[in-house]
Structure formats: C-alpha cells, structure tokens
Amino acid sequence: MTSESPQPDDRGGESAPPTAAPPMDRRLSDMPKDVLAHLAEDLGLDPTRYDTARDLAEAVQQRRQLIAHMDRQALLEVIRWGRRPVAFDATNEQIAQEIARIQSMRFSGLSQQGLVALARLRGLEVADDAPAPRLRHKLKKQEGFFSRLNRKRRALLGSIVTKIVGDGQLSSEYEFLPPEPGGPPAPGAPPADSLKTDIEESGLFGGITSRIKRTADHYLNQKLDEIEERIDRKLDEIDRRLAEWRDKEIANRIRILKITLWASVIVAVVSLIYSYVTAYLWPH
C-alpha cells in the first residue's frame, strides 16, 4: 500500500492539507431541535433560518466560539450601555445572553470596541478596526423597514403616554455590575432610560412593566440600604456598650486584685510582726 504524498503547489513547495472544521460538540448534536432553538434564541440567533437540527447545532457552536474569543471589557461596556443586570463573575456566554435581549437602536455612549462587540452579536461581520460611524450605519441598516416603522409607532405612543402620566427619571447610575477595584470608571453607561424609550423598545405593556419593575427594584434597593444603615448603627451601638461593659469588668477585676494584694501584704506584715515578737520579746 502506498501513501499519498502531498502535491506541490505553484510556488514549488508542498500544499498544506485543508484545515478540518472543529468537531461537533456531542452535547449539542444530541439535543432536540426545540431545545437547540431556545438556546439559539438566548445567544441572539434566529432558529428559523436553519432547516435541520445539525445546521442549528453548528450555528450555536460557532456562536459560542465567537463569544468565547470576544473581549470581555467590550461585552461589559455593552451591558452597561444596555443597563442589563448581570453578576460580577458572569461568563462571556452569560453576558452575551443578556446582550441578546437588548433591542435598543440608540448607540450613543458606546465606544468603537463596544460597537464591534454589539455588531458581531447581532450577526454582522465587521473588522476590529471598523470606524464607529460605519458600525452605527450597519447596525441601523440591519433593522428592517417594518421593524423601523413599528419602532417609530411605539416611540409616538411612548410620547403620548409620557405626556399623560409624566416621566419620573430614575437614578442614572448603573447599579447592577460593581466597578472593578482600582479600575477606571466604567464607560458606556447612558443616562437613565425614559418611559418613552422603554415603550419604544418593548411596546406599551412591556415598557410600562419594565418601568414598574425597575421602579420597584430601585425602591427596594433604597429600603435595603436604609435597613443596612440601621443595622450598622445598631451593631456600632452594641459594640460601644460591650466595650463599656468590658472596661467596667476589667476595672472591677483590677480593683479586686488590688484589694487582694493589699490584704496579702497586710497579712504578711502582721505575720512578720507576730513572729518577731514571739521570737525576741516574749520568747517561750
């Protein structure tokens, strides 16, 4: 049996063998298509674009590989821009799942790296050094005509609702992801979303529900901060009283030790006097 030798290329060298595609994850290939569809939606993919479960599994695997190699700081910037709640130790995939839920088309506050990360998670192929204006143009162009029309309609409805019920602004600070210790201030955090913006992104009921939820969360956070401050004051008061009782107990014990010491000295002196008297003045 003879082995096949590599064929020389046009430059006189040997042609490299074709790069094999990464093997399919068995866990993905064994999943039912409805489970894969749910996972694909969480990662920002449209499962209706894939005919077979294998194609969908390959798309999910490629999206996971893309997310794993993305810049974490750029992902966190998009999270702060979208004001999504994530844990401080969240993985890139968990962060990407939250980014996939962001539907905003207002890109003010995002840097060039953040725009690149957002564009790639929305299915666009962009270069690392693509200018920010071109990235914004591609992201806005990706939105279909009817989607843009529906967004304008929701924006108009949001303006009407805002004029009727008012728009109480919440805190503009991003309070979900704590800043890294010793790190620079987190960029990309836009001003607090208005009720109009919420309705424009999520619809009438979704926007009102989102605003009620965030208002309730803000109120609960304030109450929890107040409770924490009260507990801290009570603990400080308990520590102060314990310190006072400890000082009093130490002072009492020192006083008892002094009395015991003086009593021992007096008994010793009396014993010496008695011994001297019995030995020299009235010897037996």
Percent of the chain whose pLDDT exceeds 70: 72
Query: Which residues partner with 25 through β-bridges?
Result: none
**Rounded CA gap, 117 and 112, in Å?**
9
- Which residues have a Cβ under 8 Å from the Cβ of 79 and sit 6 or more positions away? 86, 95, 98, 99, 176, 177
For the chain, state the CA radius of gyration: 37
pLDDT category, 8, cuts 50, 70, 90? very low
Query: Which residues partner with 8 through β-bridges?
Result: 14
**Rounded CA gap, 132 and 107, in Å?**
10
pLDDT tens string 255-276? 999 999 999 999 999 998 888 8
Is residue 195 within 8 A of residue 165, CB to CB? The reply is: yes
**Rounded CA gap, 190 and 151, in Å?**
20
**DSSP one-letter string for the chain:** --PPPPPB-TTSSBPPPPPPPPPPPHHHHTS-HHHHHHHHHHTT--GGG-SSHHHHHHHHHHHHHHHHTS-HHHHHHHHHHHT----TT--HHHHHHHHHT------TT--HHHHHHHHHHTT----TT--HHHHHHHHHHHS-HHHHHHHHHHHHHHHHHHHHH-------S--SSPPPTTPPPPP--PPPPPHHHHHHHHHHHHHHHHHHHHHHHHHHHHHHHHHHHHHHHHHHHHHHHHHHHHHHHHHHHHHHHHHHHHHHHHHHHHHHHHHHIIIIIS--
**pLDDT value, residue 200:** 61
**pLDDT value, residue 257:** 94
**DSSP one-letter string for 129-159:** T--HHHHHHHHHHHS-HHHHHHHHHHHHHHH
Rounded to the nearest integer, the mean pLDDT of the chain is 77
pLDDT tens string 33-65? 888 888 888 888 888 888 888 888 888 999 999
**Rounded CA gap, 99 and 82, in Å?**
7
**Rounded CA gap, 77 and 86, in Å?**
12
pLDDT category, 25, cuts 50, 70, 90? low
**pLDDT value, residue 196:** 64
**pLDDT value, residue 2:** 41
**pLDDT value, residue 280:** 78
**Rounded CA gap, 67 and 120, in Å?**
9
**Rounded CA gap, 43 and 63, in Å?**
7
pLDDT over 80 at 194, yes or no: no
